[in-house]
Amino acid sequence: MRMNLPRIVVAGLSGDSGKTTVSLALLAAMREQGLRVSVFKKGPDYIDSAWLGAIGGTTCRNLDTYMAEPEVVRARFFRSADGSDVALLEGNRGLFDGKDARGTHSTAELSRLLRAPVILVVNVSKMTRTAAALVHGCRTYEPDLRLGGVILNNVGGNRHQRVITESMEMSGIPVLGCLGKLGGTSAVIPGRHLGLVPPDEQGGREAFVAGLLELARNSLDINAILDVARSAEGVDIDLPELPRRKDTNLRIGYFRDSAFSFYYPENIEALEQQGAKLIAISSISDQRLPDVHGLYIGGGFPETHADLLSSNRSLASEVRDASERGMPIYAECGGL
């Protein structure tokens, strides 16, 4: 089938370049325009994905060419994005950073696999024309990678912005946005030892979205960015039919709360495809274990909820008793 899907990859020169802030602001602005957005994160990743899904109003899926074959990743992307108006994928690390010196499993490699144009977020703190040289190098380093433009981050003021913008345009690189000094991503989204605080632990969602919208309106050329997404070429792809869901009476409980939130949607869907009914349980507020045949406890931040978890003795006792009776329990490590 032929798919003409508008799509972009938001990448950076390094980690902490501002990719997540830009991606969230873009998602908020796109949704304000009434666009149906599909959201992806170059994985493996849990916390950035949770934020992207929360602001995008949809399930964010990880695309990981290390954990899955490239054609599986490609099919997953286009199947999940089918029916959306635009797909946004946030990269990780630097654009060309991968497993080895060839950049295997890099954001650039994933962008080529999906034939998606890249918008590069560049931290321009304490430099001007050199930023244009760095971006020019990215554009020519792997010529088959399509660089649709740049978004400047940590711009110091009007003169700083003017000099860098003119330098970029002299090199033929469109500037699609300019962000001032926000104090790092943690100034927008609170951070801690493993990165960002998950959205399940962050209150004031309406005010946060309002802040993202203000950032997008003041700092990003949304229409130009959407034009880059719409310039992505059509692709021919065969999407195999999904197997029919099995019919069983199996019930699997899983902890889903601010303490345990690290789940890939594909794992939940795989269990459902096999006929299981997934029942969400709060390890913090639920006092009893529901009638289930097994228990799935994903990763998260139990260490930051130690007091609440340890005080829920009733549920802990029921989980222990179920384990001693032989109930299958799959538990991942937390965020330690």
Give which of 56, 61, 57 is closest to 43, Cα–Cα.
61
Cα gap 88→81, rounded to integer Å: 9
| The one catalytic residue among 60, 138, 178, 333 | 333
Cα gap 315→309, rounded to integer Å: 9
* 3 state SS of 14: coil
Q: Is 178 considered catalytic here?
A: no
Cα gap 182→155, rounded to integer Å: 9
Kindly provide the b/e burial profile for residues 1-24, where b requires at least 16 CB atoms within 10 angstroms of the residue's own CB.
eeeebbbbbbbbbeeebbbbbbbb
- Where would I find the H helices in the chain? 19-32, 47-56, 70-81, 107-114, 129-141, 158-170, 205-219, 222-230, 265-273, 306-311, 313-324
Cα gap 191→41, rounded to integer Å: 18
Residues with catalytic function: 333
